Every structure is written in C-alpha cells, then in structure tokens.
Amino acid sequence: MNVVVDTNVAISANGRDTHASLACQYVCIVFLQGLVSPKNRTQIVIDELDLIFSEYSNHLHYKGQPGVGDIFFKYLHDHMYLRKKIKRVPITPIADDARGFNELPPNTVDKSDQKFLAAAVVAGAEIVNAVDTDWHEQVVFVADLGVNVHQLCPEHGCL
C-alpha cells in the first residue's frame, strides 16, 4: 500500500499548534509510529519536486524533536531515497489555476492540498488526513479520481 500523509497528521501528532483533540493526537502518533516501523511495508509517497517535503519543513523539525510528527519528518528526510519505504513520484505544476497540476482535471481542491492529490493520483495512493475538513468536502471528486482519503480523526468533522 502507498500513502500520502497530509501535513496536518504530523502536526497533530506533535500536539502543538493544533486544534486536534487528545484522542486525535494519539491516533496520529500511533499511525506515524507504525508507518516508520521497520516491519511496516507501506510506502510513504512524496513528489520528486519536494513540494510536499517543503510543506512538511515549514511545520516540522529536522532534528526529529520534540514530537512524533518531527520523528516522522526526520525519518522521511533520512530515508528519502530508500525506495522500499519512500516512493518519489513526478508531478507537474501548471499555470492553470483551475487544475494546479497536469495530473488533475479542473477542480476546486484547496491549492495547498493539490500537490498531495496529484501525488496520490500518480502513485495510486491513499491520502491520510487528521483534521483538514477540505478532504471531506471534496470526497466525491477525490473518489472519482480513484483516490481514497483515510480519515484518522472523524470527530473533527471529517466524516
């Protein structure tokens, strides 16, 4: 299985600067710890242009401290070219604001989320979300593209 992890999952796992409930934070911690486990066969999907990684870097710490979201980010940084765990996919930004990326049809997806969706389409991956209600609002469009959104925290209005 392949997953694209929305930034809000790692932010929620860190437990700072988030509106995630304690239960949601815990679910995000457990999910990310499992994802980076040596026994896990799931591939983390990011784009070759590092648009997703750059967004992570705006909210997470390279030292892997002090939260589990930071540990996930450091793991991603340290293993970025280990193809067994990280899948880097090509996506093509375009000047067409109605699409955002060549891999997407015209859409109303939040501009900051389009890179995650484009990467998921290319990789045949599932998007993992914690607290971003935009994914719920776009559920039909996203499903029509063949992408599933796994909601870790449905209590945040994501179901």
Q: Which pair of structure tokens corresponds to residue 97?
A: 């604001």
pTM, 2 dp: 0.95
Residue 151 Ramachandran class (φ > 0 left, ψ -120 to 50 alpha, else beta)? beta
**Residue extents of the structural domains in the chain:** 2-150
The pLDDT tens digits of the residues spanning 106-122 come to: 999 999 999 999 999 99
CA distance linking residue 128 with residue 61, whole number of Å: 20
Q: Note the pLDDT of residue 17.
A: 80
Q: Please give the CATH topology (third level) of the domain spanning 2-150.
A: Rossmann fold (3.40.50)
The pLDDT tens digits of the residues spanning 23-34 come to: 999 999 999 999
